[in-house]
Amino acid sequence: MMREKIRTLIADAIKDRSIEGYTPEFSVVPPENPAHGDYASNIALVLGKMLKKNPMEVAEELMKALEKSICHSEQSEESRALTGSLTDVLDDGGRWNIKVAKPGFLNFFLSDAVLLHELEKIVRNPDALGKSEIGEGKTVMVEYFQLNIAKRPHIGHIRSAIIGDALKRMLLSQGYNAISDTHVGDWGTQFGILLLGYKTAVADLHEREVVHDPFAELEEIYLAENTRVKDDPARRELAKEEFAKLEQGNEENKKLWQWMVEVSMKNLEASAARLGLLPFDEHKGESFYEDRMPPIVALALEKNIAQKKDDGAVVVDLNSEGLDDAVLIKSDGASTYLLRDLATIQYRQNQWHFWKNLYVVDVRQSHHFKQLFRVAELLGFEGVGASEHVSYGFIKTPQGGAISTRGGTGISLENVIDEAVEKARGIIWEKNPDLKNADEVARMVGIGALKYFDLSHHRESDIVFSWERALSFDGNTGPYLQYTYARLKSILRKAQVNKPPPSGRHSERSEESRELAGFLADARNDAISIDPLEHQIIVTLLCFPEVIEDALTIWSPHILAGYLYALAQNANEFYHTHPVLNEPDAEKKNLRLALVVAVAETLARGLSLLGIETPEEM
């Protein structure tokens, strides 16, 4: 990454200016205004404060040190390996492209030769776009899309599914061993409610050979009983008794439970597949941890971390830390979410030896996870410090209310997907009635619109869902990015340019692509000029791997989404102001075709990391 190359050069230059061997934290980022350079660093401001010197003076000293370091090869072995050819990184015909700007920034301007070299690498090997091995040997657990038995996924579940899937895709692209788990809610008092409702309805679905939609009938039974429990608190106690019997091994309840889980898991897998999620590596439900919970309770009591109350409840007192009582066992003997999650941490660490353990769960569970991590810490569990709650806000209706399934008021995920695809089909029919494979394109656009609408927001933000905004072909939307990609691919089809085919197969298109890469290699020595917009686009392309790294630093895909939108805006400006196929100058035409290839491939790769497909035509 270019950012790391510059960072390493700076680190070498400040060795003698650090305090007692301490290298301070400093930034290397693209400035908001391109006129201020391709990258800018605040290192002089940081050092000026540390050394109590004028930052402008420090910046001037560092600029000279960087020039000396590169010209005389006075670099560490690591720095030389990163920068490659020293004079290619920042030198343009002997003129240094580092400038000092008030109040003490170092601004770096990349030469045309460097940009053409980087563009050549993208065109020559587009499959390497955004990939790295930085995560090699590190396992990251990602838990998301935590559905409950007999409860249909609704639009509120979509955030966990989409954010978690995007994080897994990005982690895999960086070489991490990303392990996903749904952590299905197949245990707890809600199961007692379902069992009570099933028995009250005298249902026999589990004994029939053919049932048209058993999941729908189970959901109806659950909702009806949930309403009765709400109106009659005494029924909640009956539901607790049913779950307690299940925990104690009651044969009837266990048989019913196993059938309900099987029916619900089929529905979960169908929903995940339709949403286009990567396959889950684990489907460990809460029930999986049943026999792992008693030893944890015993350990907590033995270490005097938890106390057993007179009513039989087992509680960890965290009131002095502002975290209230953390209940492991309820007074009726039933286990809690907290206890099951403790068992989950222990299992995942023993099974996977994770580097990170992420829970993509809504912000309402923040208190639960604070309790969870604190109790796990008190118990001495490994991996607690590596466990994080990746919280997200709510999807709300245009009227401002949160969307919920309780009482059957939620909008089902299936209905949302159906409507998204149908609305996309209508828009496509209006814009391009002769489009081939219109139904498949409508599916890509509709589901892509849902995903991008979510991922374009910071995950912690509450968002108001709007069909008009999500499906618009203008602005920061999925259809806008997909349409930009399709337009670029149209140019390449007309020019008979595409990326080389896999497995070393040869074709006219692969030959065209190789010729473009060869042209770019020669262009570095032929002093072909790049105009400001072309310069800006190539610099933006260089930032792609850095953006993935930044998104994973805070576990928020909106950083990648924002980058792709900015790239698409540049591409559309380029499309309207720079002729490609009709450009009479052969060198300019080849350069612009190479830019179209690189931008199209980057958009496709970036959208793929967000779980969004890219139709070739729209």
pLDDT, mean of residues 378-392: 95
Residue 528, pLDDT score:
77
Rounded to whole angstroms, how far apart are CA atoms 173 and 167? 10
Q: What is the DSSP letter of 185?
A: B
Specify the higher pLDDT residue, 381 or 156.
381
Residue 150, pLDDT score:
76
- With bands split at pLDDT 50, 70 and 90, how would you rate the model's confidence at 145? very high
pLDDT, mean of residues 446-454: 95
Residue 512, pLDDT score:
62
Cα-to-chain-centroid distance, residue 391? 13
333: left (phi over 0), alpha (psi -120 to 50) or beta: left
pLDDT of 419 strictly over 60: yes
Residue 109, pLDDT score:
92
Specify the higher pLDDT residue, 293 or 233.
293
Q: Who contacts 14 (Cβ-Cβ below 8 Å, separation ≥6)? A: 23, 43, 47, 62, 65
Residue 203, pLDDT score:
79
Rounded to whole angstroms, how far apart are CA atoms 227 and 142? 34
Residue 399, pLDDT score:
65
Specify the higher pLDDT residue, 587 or 484.
484
Only one residue has tokens 């954010």, namely 163
Q: What is the pLDDT of residues 520-557, one digit of tens each?
A: 777 665 667 899 999 999 999 999 999 999 999 999 99
- With bands split at pLDDT 50, 70 and 90, how would you rate the model's confidence at 404? very low
Rounded to whole angstroms, how far apart are CA atoms 47 and 25? 10
Q: What is the pLDDT of residues 64-73, one digit of tens each?
A: 888 776 655 4
Provide, rounded to the nearest whole percent, the portion of the chain with pLDDT above 90.
Answer: 61
Q: Check: CB of residue 324 under 8 Å from CB of residue 336.
A: no
Q: Mind giving me the DSSP string for 436-492?
A: TTHHHHHHHHHHHHHHHHHHTS-TTS-EE--HHHHT-SSSSSHHHHHHHHHHHHHHH
Q: What is the pLDDT of residues 189-213, one digit of tens each?
A: 888 999 999 999 887 888 886 577 8
H or E stretch including 325? strand 325-329
Q: What is the pLDDT of residues 479-500, one digit of tens each?
A: 999 999 999 999 999 988 765 4
- With bands split at pLDDT 50, 70 and 90, how would you rate the model's confidence at 83? very low
Residue 406, pLDDT score:
40
Q: Check: CB of residue 148 under 8 Å from CB of residue 404.
A: no
pLDDT of 95 strictly over 70: no
Q: What is the pLDDT of residues 261-320, one digit of tens each?
A: 988 888 888 889 999 999 999 988 888 998 999 999 999 999 999 999 999 999 999 999
Residue 190, pLDDT score:
82
- The upper half-sphere exposure of residue 103, i.e. CA atoms within 13 Å in the direction of its Cβ, equals 8
Q: Which two tokens stand for residue 239?
A: 């539901």
pLDDT of 438 strictly over 60: yes
Spatial CA neighbour of 190 closest among 234, 233, 226: 226
The rounded mean pLDDT for the chain is: 87
Residue 93, pLDDT score:
42
Q: What is the pLDDT of residues 25-66, one digit of tens each?
A: 999 999 989 889 999 999 999 999 988 999 999 999 999 888
pLDDT of 158 strictly over 50: yes
The CATH number corresponding to 2-109 among 1.10.599.10, 3.40.1390.10, 3.30.1360.70, 1.10.10.10 equals 3.30.1360.70
Rounded to whole angstroms, how far apart are CA atoms 428 and 479? 10
Q: Check: CB of residue 192 under 8 Å from CB of residue 241.
A: yes
Only one residue has tokens 């039989």, namely 312
Rounded to whole angstroms, how far apart are CA atoms 601 and 589? 18
Spatial CA neighbour of 80 closest among 159, 12, 181, 152: 12
pLDDT of 410 strictly over 60: no
pLDDT, mean of residues 340-365: 96
Residue 15, pLDDT score:
77
pLDDT of 219 strictly over 90: no
Residue 71, pLDDT score:
59
Q: What is the DSSP letter of 501?
A: P
Query: Domain coordinates of the chain in residue numbers?
Result: 2-109
Provide, rounded to the nearest whole percent, the portion of the chain with pLDDT above 70.
Answer: 88
- With bands split at pLDDT 50, 70 and 90, how would you rate the model's confidence at 21? low
